Amino acid sequence: MEDIKAFILDVDGVVCRGSKPIPEGVEGVKKLMEFGKKVVFVSNNSTRSRKMLVERFRSFGLDVSEEMLIVATHATATYIKRNYGELNIFTTGEKGLIEELEEMGHKITDYDRAECLVVASNRKLNYDLMTKALRCCMTAKKYVATNPDRIFPGWDGPIPGTGMIIGALYWMTGRMPDAVIGKPSEIIMREALDRLGCRAEEVVVVGDQVEVDIVAGKRVGCKTALVLSGVTKKENFKTAIKQVSPDFVFDNLSCLLDSYI
C-alpha cells in the first residue's frame, strides 16, 4: 500500500446510503485527506448533479470540491457533447441530470422531438413516463444510459437502479443503449485517472459492488478494494467475489485505512 498515491472512491455504499452518512466512510475520507492522498469520487448515481453532491458532502462535514467529483449525470452530458454534439434530448431522469445536460448546452424536449434518449433513474417513475420512454426508444437516433446499476443501496435496504428502465425498454423493444457511461464502463474510469494525473497502478478503487466498482477498477488496471458497508454484505461477499476477486476486502473505508497505517 505504500506505493499508493490516490484513491477513486465510490459514494453510495461507501460514504453514504442515500441521504444518510456512513460514519466509518466519512471518517475514512477525512483520514485520506489528512494523509495527503489524492481522492476523486466516482458515482453512478444518476439523480444528483455535482452541485447537489457537494451540498450532501457538506452536510456530512466533508469539504469536497466539484473538481473532486465525477458523477454519472455530468459524465453523461459531457460524453454526448464530445461524441454527438449538442442534442435535443428526452430523458427519464430527474432534476440533477437535467441540470447537467442543460449546463452542457443540450436542450430538453418531449419524446417525439428528441434526437437522443437518455435513460436514468427517476424516483417518480410512472406508466406515463415509461410510455414516453418506450416511444422515444423506438424513434430516437441515439440512446445513452447514465449507468447500468440494477440496484442501489437505499438507507433502509436495496432500491431499483437505472437498470430497471434499461431492462424494461430492452424487454419491450430489443434495443440496448448505444453507450452506458457509469461504472464498470472505462469511459468514467479514464476520466477519473486523468483527473488524478496518476498511473493506474498507483491508484486503489474502493466500492461496495463487485460487478460495478471492482470490475471497473480491474478494467483500467487499478488495485481494488471491496467494502461491506453497502450492497455487498458479510453474509454474501464470498459468493459475490467468486468470479471477480478484489485485491482487498474490508468492513468499511475506515478499516481499510487502519490496515494501511
Q: Which residues bind Mg ion (CB under 5 A)?
A: 10, 12-13, 208, 230
CB 86 within 8 A of CB 104: yes
Residue 213 Cβ, how far from Mg ion at the closest point, in Å? 6
Q: Is the CB of 10 or the CB of 94 nearer to Mg ion? A: 10
Distance (Å, whole) CA 255 – CA 109: 47
Residue 13 Cβ, how far from Mg ion at the closest point, in Å? 4
Residue 122 Cβ, how far from Mg ion at the closest point, in Å? 19
Residue type, 17: R
Partners of 250 in beta bridges? 227
Taking CA atoms, 103 is separated from 179, 187, 205, 233, in Å, by 21, 20, 29, 38
Q: Where are the alpha helices (DSSP H) in 48-126?
A: 50-59, 72-84, 95-103
Q: Is the CB of 32 or the CB of 226 nearer to Mg ion? A: 226
Per the document, the length of the chain is: 261
Residue 212 Cβ, how far from Mg ion at the closest point, in Å? 6
For the record, the C-alpha cell of 123 comes out as: 424516483
Q: Is the CB of 76 or the CB of 147 nearer to Mg ion? A: 147
Distance (Å, whole) CA 213 – CA 224: 8
Residue 165 Cβ, how far from Mg ion at the closest point, in Å? 18
Strands, E, within the chain: which ranges? 6-9, 16-17, 20-21, 38-43, 69-71, 88-91, 107-108, 116-119, 142-145, 151-154, 157-160, 179-180, 203-207, 223-227, 248-250
Q: Is the CB of 130 or the CB of 159 nearer to Mg ion? A: 159
Residue 55 Cβ, how far from Mg ion at the closest point, in Å? 19
3-class DSSP state for residue 245?
coil
Q: Is the CB of 116 or the CB of 226 nearer to Mg ion? A: 226
- By Cβ distance, which residue is nearest to Mg ion? 13
Q: Is the CB of 92 or the CB of 229 nearer to Mg ion? A: 229
